[in-house]
Amino acid sequence: MPVASDTGLSLALRLPTELLVLIFKYCIAPYPACSPLLGKHSPTTLTHVCRYWRCVALSTPQLWRAIAIFDSVEVKDRRGYRQVQVVDEPLHIVAASIHVAERWLQLSGNLALSIVVGASNELATTDRAQSRQLRFDFLRKTLVPEHRHRIEYFAIRCGLLLHEPRLMHGEFNSLRFFSVETENEQIDLLTFGPISSPCLQTVSLRFCARNQHLSCTLPWLQLTKLDVVEVTTVAAALDILRQTPNLVWCRVVLHVSSDQPSLVVNRPVLVLPRLMVAIFETYSFPATNNHRLFLDILPFLRLPALSRLRISQAFLLSDFKQAISSLGCERLELLSVVDAWEVMAEPRLPLGTLFETLLLNERGGYAMDEDEWGRWGWDEVTPPKSTRLGSYCISA
């Protein structure tokens, strides 16, 4: 008579294919988030149990449709803002990752894809030329029409990684989410050509104020969710928002020096009739108690459908009630004031007419309640509760 453990193992090996496929799907990050290519959290571990499991896993394209590569990074927290530092991957790990990623592209069949391309770490390896060539070869294979029309979610960090003119251009008929972080605008000016993507709804841009070329390559009118980080002026933020009149979700994070004086913005009033959730934050905080940095953006906006507003104190001028009332919306469901320098709710001010719930002095940055504010940027394509990405993924 077989022992209990043998009986359990035997039953597991004889599960119906349909049930086994369902179990396998719960073993990986929920699409579009990407499971690691290598290691114990990779779906490849399912192919090591037995011949039957291997056959079922390799014939289940849903397991292989979300691919993250060159993204082994340390994620550090600075005042709530996520800082990413590339981890040194030896050349043999880079080569193995590329080989696995190319295999996943084949196994994914004709399904839509989620592709995450992290920052290059070629400065951290002694085999820079060979490492760079491997990366370029993989990107070329990924962006050929055979796979390009299947890409539904695409997040990419540029800079050292991309040096090839018009590497990303043309028709992306399935693309719904596009995130790009750029550091070297001279290189990235050549990297992106015009992009045709009739399904694109969500765009996340970092360093976009330094790269005006990106503004003419995307179908701004159809976007419903926009995330722009490290814009350097209020005028630049307003110019970007003016191209996106159909937004429902919006986050703008300004990156200005703490000693920068308040600037006079000369822009017409902008109406965003569908915007329901707005987030306006800034990296900058007052250097001394005698200094205040005011970023005058709310008077230039009319947001009649707005229900939730998260905003840094720096965007609120002395007349708090007038700043909120000028938006032209009805009573807000939720107002969150980030990094408040002082309590603005004066007893004589009828603030209850402006919002249902007020949160003061919340922590700024990426540490936001997803139920209230949603997911933004790379968080939309990375597994939840993850402190490191890529081949060496460690859950929090």
Strands (E), the chain: 66-69, 73-78, 81-86, 113-117, 151-157, 168-171, 177-181, 192-196, 202-206, 225-231, 249-254, 270-271, 277-282, 301-302, 308-312, 332-338, 355-362, 386-389, 394-395
Helix, strand, coil shares, percent, the chain, to 5:
35, 25, 45
Query: What's the pLDDT score for residue 297?
Result: 84
**Pair of tokens at residue 96:** 């193995």
Phi and psi angles of residue 33, each rounded to the nearest 5 degrees, phi first: -65, 150
H-state helical runs in 67-205:
91-107, 128-142, 145-148, 185-191
> Burial, 67: exposed, middle or buried (Cβ in 10 Å; 0-12, 13-18, 19+)?
buried
Cβ neighbours for 313, distance < 8 A, ≥ 6 positions apart: 337, 338, 339, 340, 341, 342
pLDDT tens for each residue of 338-378: 876 554 544 444 555 566 666 765 665 556 778 888 888 87
Q: Binning pLDDT at 50, 70 and 90, where does residue 113 land?
A: very high
Antiparallel, parallel or unpaired: β 73-78 and 386-389: antiparallel
- Provide mean pLDDT across the span 127-137: 71
Poorest-pLDDT segment among 105-109, 128-132, 208-212, 249-253: 208-212
3-state SS assignment for residue 359: strand
Q: Which residue has the higher pLDDT, 67 or 284?
A: 67
Query: What's the pLDDT score for residue 318?
Result: 58
pLDDT tens for each residue of 295-347: 778 888 999 999 999 988 778 765 677 778 888 888 788 888 887 655 454 44
Q: Write the DSSP symbol of residue 270.
A: E
For the cut 90, the answer to whether the pLDDT of residue 175 exceeds it is yes
Cβ neighbours for 49, distance < 8 A, ≥ 6 positions apart: none
Asked if 207 and 215 touch (Cβ cutoff 8 Å), the reply is no
- H or E stretch at 172: none
- Provide mean pLDDT across the span 194-210: 80
> Burial, 30: exposed, middle or buried (Cβ in 10 Å; 0-12, 13-18, 19+)?
exposed
Q: Binning pLDDT at 50, 70 and 90, where does residue 387 land?
A: very low
Q: Binning pLDDT at 50, 70 and 90, where does residue 289 land?
A: very low
Poorest-pLDDT segment among 163-177, 250-264, 329-343: 250-264
Query: What's the pLDDT score for residue 351?
Result: 53
Ordered DSSP codes for 307-331: -EEEEEGGG--S-HHHHHHTT--SS
pTM here? 0.82
What size, in residues, is the chain?
Answer: 396
